[in-house]
Amino acid sequence: MKHLLWVLVLGIFMSCSVDEEPEPMVTAPIVSVEDIIVEEGNDNKFVFVRLVLNKQATELGTVYISSEDVTAEAGVDYVAFDNVPVVFEQDDLVKEYRIEIIGDIEEETNEIFNVKIESAEGLTIGDNSGTVTIQTDDNSSTGIVVPSTGYTTPENYAGMDLLWRDEFNGTSIDESKWNFEIGTGSNGWGNNELQYYRKENAFIIEDDYLVIDAKEEAFSGRQYTSTRMTTQGKFDFAFGRVDIRANLPTGQGIWPALWMLGANFSSVGWPSCGEIDIMEIIGSKPSTLHGTTHWSDDSNNYASYGGETTLPSGIFKDNFHVFSIVWDSSKIRWLLDDVEYHVIDISPSGLSEFRSPHFFIFNVAVGGNWPGSPNNTTEFPQQMIVDYIRVFK
C-alpha cells in the first residue's frame, strides 16, 4: 500500500514537471570594437571607428568609450576622448564614432592607441578594446634633409651664465616658450608679404630640430603658408650673447629671419621699440647675410644701421651656421660662425631702445618689399631648420 502511494505521488510530481517548460534565456547583444588602420597625413583628419553587435538590438543600448595611449600620444597624434556615449537604437547592428587624427610631417614610426569600452547599458561587453594604428606617411612625404655638417658653438663661455635655451628636443614645440602669430598681419606684416602664417607649418623632426616650412598652397585667400613664432611675454632679455644654429632656405621671394623686438612693442609700437635682426637673408642672394638694427631717433624719425657678409663659397642652405650677437650697454656685435662682421655703438641717447629687453621672433616670409615675389624658379616647400638657440648673460 505504501509503495502504491509513493508511485502515485511521484507520478503527480513528474506530470507537473513535464507540463511546466522553462522560460527561454534572453541575452543582450554583445558589443565589440573593430581594429582600424589609418594613414596619418600632413593635416588633421577625421576617421570612424566601428562598434558592432553580434545581433540586432531589440531595445535601446548605450556603450561608453574612451581613448587610451599605447605608443601614440593624445594631443600629439590624436584628439583624446573620455567616457563618450554611443547609442544603439532598435534594429541597429553597427554604430560609428568619429575620431580626429593629428597630422604632421615629422619623421616617426607607426603608432597605436586603443578605443576602450568602459561600460554598457542594455548590451553585453565582448571584446572591449579596439586598436587604431596610425600608419605614418612621413618618410615618403617630407623630403627634408638635415645637413650633417656645419659650424657649432659651445654650451658655456667664460664669465657668462646660460640664461635660456631651446634645443628643440622631443616631439613638439614647447609652447611654454613660444607663441604663434597667425594670419596675414597688417599690410602683410608691414612689408607686403604674401604668406598666411599658421602654427601647423612649424614642427620638430628627429627629436632635435625645429622646422619652419614655407609652402605654396592656397589658404584663407593667400597662395603661400609659413610660420612666425615669438617669445613675447614668455622670455625677453638685454645684454649678453645669443647663438642660433640654423640652416637656411633659398629661392626668389624667400625671406628667413631670426630677430628681436623690444619688449615694449605692444605699448610703443615699431620702430620706437627697437629691432635687432640677428640674421636675415633673401633667397635670391643665398650666400649673403645681413645684421641690422631699426629704431626711432631723437627726432622721432625712423633710422636703421646694418652690415653684411658673404660666404667665401657655397650658400647658407648647404650647411648649418651659427648666427650670433654679443650685446652690452655700449655696443652690439654680429658674428657669423664666431667671426665678427658688423658692430653698432648704442651708447648715444638716440639709441636708448637697445638698452632695454627684447624678445625673439623666428619666421620665414614669402614675398615682400625687400625680396620681391616668388617666380617660376622658386622651388617649394622651403625650410628653415634650427638646431638650437642659446642665450647667455
CATH label of the domain that carries residue 379: 2.60.120.200
Q: What is the pLDDT at residue 83?
A: 95
Of residues 104 and 60, more confidently modeled: 60
Q: Are strands 162-166 and 202-205 parallel, antiparallel or unpaired?
A: unpaired
**Alpha carbon distance 237, 139 (integer Å):** 39
* Grid coordinates belonging to 116: 576602450
Same domain, 177 and 90: no
> Residue 265 domain-assigned?
yes
In a shared domain, residues 378 and 282: yes
- Domain span at residue 221? 162-392
Q: What are phi and psi for residue 20, nearest 5 degrees? A: -95, 105
Kindly state whether residues 204 and 86 are assigned to the same domain: no
Q: What is the pLDDT of residue 139?
A: 41
Is 4 in a helix, a strand, or coil?
helix
**If you average pLDDT over residues 153-170, what whole number do you get?**
97
Q: Looking at 275, 340, 353, 379, which residue is catalytic?
A: 275
Q: Pull the grid cell for residue 337.
A: 660662425
pLDDT of residue 140: 36
363 has pLDDT over 90: yes
C-alpha cell at 343: 658692430
**Position 15 in a domain:** no
Q: Decide if pLDDT at 226 tops 70.
A: yes
Residues 211 and 253 in one domain: yes
Q: How far apart are CA 385 and CA 177, in angstroms?
A: 18
Domain identity same for 112 and 190: no
Question: With DSSP H G I counted as helix, E B as strand and the rest as coil, what are the percentages for the chain, rounded to 5?
Answer: 10, 45, 45
Q: Could you tell me if 66 and 104 lie in one domain?
A: yes
Any idea what the CATH number is for the domain that residue 51 is in? Answer: 2.60.40.2030
| Residue 227 falls inside a structural domain | yes
Q: Flag whether 154 is in a domain.
A: no
Are 259 and 274 within 8 A, CB to CB? no
Least confident of 26-30, 272-276, 304-308, 347-351: 26-30
Q: What is the per-residue burial (b if ≥16 Cβ within 10 Å, else e) of 91-104?
A: ebeebebebebbbb
Q: Tell which wins on pLDDT, 313 or 4.
A: 313
SS3 track for 154-190:
CCCCCCCCEEEEECCCCCCCCCCCCEEECECCCCHHH
Does 184 share its domain with 243? yes
Structure-derived torsion over alpha carbons of residues 206, 207, 209, 213, reported in degrees to the nearest 10: 70
Report yes or no on 17 lying in a domain.
no
Percentage above 90 pLDDT, the chain: 76
Using the structure block, give the residue that is written with the C-alpha cell 598652397. Answer: 217
For residue 141, what pLDDT band results from cuts at 50, 70 and 90?
Answer: very low
> How far is residue 141's CA from residue 106's CA, in Å, rounded to a whole number?
9
Q: Cβ distance 107 to 205 under 8 Å?
A: yes
> Which pLDDT value is given to residue 128?
84
Q: How many CB atoms lie within 10 A of CB 75?
A: 10
Contact 240, 393 (CB under 8 A): yes
**Number of neighbouring beta carbons within 10 Å of residue 363:** 23
Mean pLDDT of 145-174: 96
> Are 100 and 166 in a shared domain?
no
Q: 37 vs 344, which has greater pLDDT?
A: 344
Q: Are residues 124 and 209 in the same domain?
A: no
Domain assignment present for residue 129? The answer is yes
Mean predicted confidence (pLDDT) in 224-248: 98
- Number of domains into which the chain is organized: 2
Least confident range of 86-100, 129-143, 153-167, 378-392? 129-143
State the catalytic residue, choosing from 108, 193, 200, 280: 280
Mean pLDDT of all residues belonging to the chain: 90
User: Can you give the pTM of this predicted structure?
Assistant: 0.67
Distance of CA 216 to the CA centre of its chain: 19
Q: Do 105 and 238 share a structural domain?
A: no
> What is the grid cell recorded at 295?
629704431
CA 237, chain centre distance (Å): 25
Let me know whether 93 and 173 are in one domain: no
Q: How many helices (H) and strands (E) does the chain have?
A: 2, 26
> Could you give the 3-state DSSP secondary structure of residue 234?
coil
CB 142 within 8 A of CB 104: no
Q: For residue 280, indicate whether it is catalytic.
A: yes
Q: Is residue 155 domain-resident? A: no
Q: What does the DSSP 8-state code read for residue 333?
A: E
Both 117 and 191 in a single domain? no
- 3-state SS assignment for residue 199: helix
Residue 20 is a catalytic residue:
no
Whether residue 101 lies inside any domain: the answer is yes
